[in-house]
A and B are shown apart, each in its own frame.
Chain A
Amino acid sequence: MNSTSPTPDPTDTARGDDNSNVATPPSRPSLWRDMSTSEDWWAIWCAGLLLAISFAVVWFGQPDNLSELLAASRANDDVTEAAAETVNKPISETPKLMEGAGVSTSEGTVSDDTTETLSASDLASETEAVAEDAVETKEESYEYTSPLKPFLSKPGKWTDNPLDAISSTWTGTLGVFLVIAALFAFANQTRGKSASAFLTAFPFVFLLATLAYWMSGQSVVKAYNLEYALWALLVGLIISNTVGTPDFLRPAISTEFYIKTGLVLLGAEVLMSRLLALGLPGVFVAWLVTPVVLITTYWFGQKVLKIQSKSLNMVISADMSVCGVSAAIATAAACKAKKEELSLSIGLSLGFTVIMMAVMPAVITALGFDPILGGAWLGGTIDSTGAVAAAGAVLGDEALEVAATVKMIQNILIGVTAFCVAIYWVTFVERDASGPKIGISEIWYRFPKFVLGFVAMSILFSFLYSSLTNGPELINAMIGGSTKTLRGWFFCLAFVSIGLETNFRQLLPQLKGGKPLVLYVCGQSLNLILTLVMAYLMFKVVFADTVTP
């Protein structure tokens, strides 16, 4: 984050012909040298390599008849869906439903002719039996998964027996360890650091990350939305604030490198085609309110609360208005925030998410909102994606679907947010207000390049998703079978590293005057009001007739 930010040089100016001062950069490393040594570029290379391999495995590993298998599976889903409806419908409606789905009985396809020859009770029992058979065959639905999936995983969920978390996932965890160790050792060596020092330290850091995953995998901990980031941070903090972080671990404590690599991997999950999943109402709720709240909260923090650290102000604003921890990570990296600022933002977000997850469904029920409006409100306001789903499910399936989809659309906003914040930061915040304008080359020099990788991966995989035959299945298999897992490990390693580098005393000044808390509360209040108004307008007034979840 802030460790690599170049600082502007006030003497670094030249007067242009139009009498306006434009900064010109001093001699800087060539692009080639920058690309072969800088952390930002290496994050792009590492994540790009992982994505290329993951996609190649999925692409070359697909069965020859994938299209046929998927078509048969969809037909099976149609039958199952119609059958499930049949079980719950009055007998008089069943023939039409079954015919529509092309369901065949032992007598042949259900048609008007057969209904004439069967008695009502015969028909009822026949169709019900077929319907139940069809529902049972749902498990046979085909889903293409990456061949890499068994070799890449993280400790799973456990309730009573702690060993449940690793009994079925230890090979996948070992696989992740080997992949990251090999890749980062190579990257370190190429960047002029010691691969052997990294390889000596990395097993211990990875072990701490595994411990954090294990802690977050306990069912009760998961149910309260206490994400692995929190435990990774805690594990690192405990060591650094008791016995101290041993020096030999330092070569593997690479917070920024892990975060940037994880973010470029995350880019592949930011699929633009998901944007219209709920049509225009979803876009308005998620993409209109969110930037307004983000900008207003940032402005409020600067002008009213006068928060000294602009990066802390921005990270809290993005974390609260976009989608919690993932947005905080992306924005913190884009605006080069301090590690303690990211930790504080995440702590605030998780604390409020636990409260909102429990309180909001009760408020919605008490106010008598319908599930669609309630779901949209939840999706646009609760920070964490998992907590949105949990709160939505309390209100029913409709609310769950709308809430989760609105949140997903907001998730996609991460890429745009990170890009815009990075541009704003290098153009306005890092510039001396009384100094001259900075030129394009200076903006390029200061711009965090990994954000380009993040956006590029988002565009590339959105294109592949939409344009390839069976693109959605291939990209989903790639994400679900490998890149999502690796991205999670990179973030977990990053938070362990933050903990190992942080002293509790460094966190305390950030809480000075309770301003971050006030900022969060005010921003979230605005978010609650604006999202409710917009959700009501979109789902109940403007598009009331067209919205069907």
Chain B
Amino acid sequence: MSDHDHSFRKSSCRVGALVGIVSLLSIVWLVILPAYARQPKMRQHLRWLDDQGIDPSAMYYTELEVMEDILAKQRLAEIRRKSP
């Protein structure tokens, strides 16, 4: 087998791997995860998180909606303490 053929096979394998992984991820994100989200138990859990204003993937407190409510409540209490 020539170097050219070997190189061509290698790059074909790489492109094939990329296509394979992308296809797999597409199935997971476009089919499996939406289907799982539709399960009654999961749907209930997601609705509960929404109602609570919680994003479990928040990295920092400023990304957390519920924290705004907590801080607003604490600030209101502080203002009341300063000027009852």
Contacts of B55 in A (CB 8 A): 157, 222, 386, 389
Partner of B60, one of A74, A215, A219, A269: A269
| Partner-binding segment picked from A12-20, A117-125, A239-247, A430-438 | A239-247
The answer to whether A401 has its CB under 8 Å from any CB of chain B is yes
Partner of B57, one of A386, A472, A484: A386
Contacts of B57 in A (CB 8 A): 216, 221-222, 225-228, 384, 386
Q: Is the CB of A277 within 8 A of B60?
A: no
The answer to whether A417 has its CB under 8 Å from any CB of chain B is no
Given the complex of chains A and B, what is the CA–CA distance between A338 and B14 in angstroms?
Answer: 27
Residues facing B in A209-225 (CB within 8 A) are 215-216, 218-225
Q: Is the CB of B17 within 8 A of A242?
A: yes
Q: Is the CB of A242 within 8 A of B14?
A: yes
Q: Is the CB of B66 within 8 A of A404?
A: yes
**Distance to closest chain B CB from A402 (angstroms):** 10
Contacts of B33 in A (CB 8 A): 218, 220-221
Interfacial residues, chain A to chain B (CB-CB below 8 A): 74, 77-78, 157, 159-160, 162, 215-216, 218-229, 238-239, 242-244, 266, 269, 274, 277, 323-326, 357, 384-387, 389-390, 393, 400-401, 404-405, 407-408, 411, 472, 476, 479-480, 484, 488, 491
Sort A-B residue pairs by CB-CB distance and give the 7 closest, nearest first. A386-B58, A242-B18, A408-B61, A390-B56, A386-B56, A225-B56, A242-B17
Residues facing A in B57-81 (CB within 8 A) are 57-64, 66-68, 70-72, 74-76, 79
7 contacts between A and B (CB under 8 A): A160-B37, A222-B57, A242-B14, A323-B60, A325-B59, A326-B60, A476-B68
Residue of B with least CB distance to A485: B63
The answer to whether B15 has its CB under 8 Å from any CB of chain A is yes
Interfacial residues, chain B to chain A (CB-CB below 8 A): 11, 14-15, 17-18, 21-22, 25, 29-30, 33-34, 36-38, 42, 45-46, 48-49, 52, 54-64, 66-68, 70-72, 74-76, 79
Q: Is the CB of A218 within 8 A of B66?
A: no
Known contacts A159-B34, A215-B29; A386 and B18 CB within 8 A of each other: no
Given the complex of chains A and B, what is the CA–CA distance between A389 and B63 in angstroms?
Answer: 11
Partner of A160, one of B14, B34, B79: B34
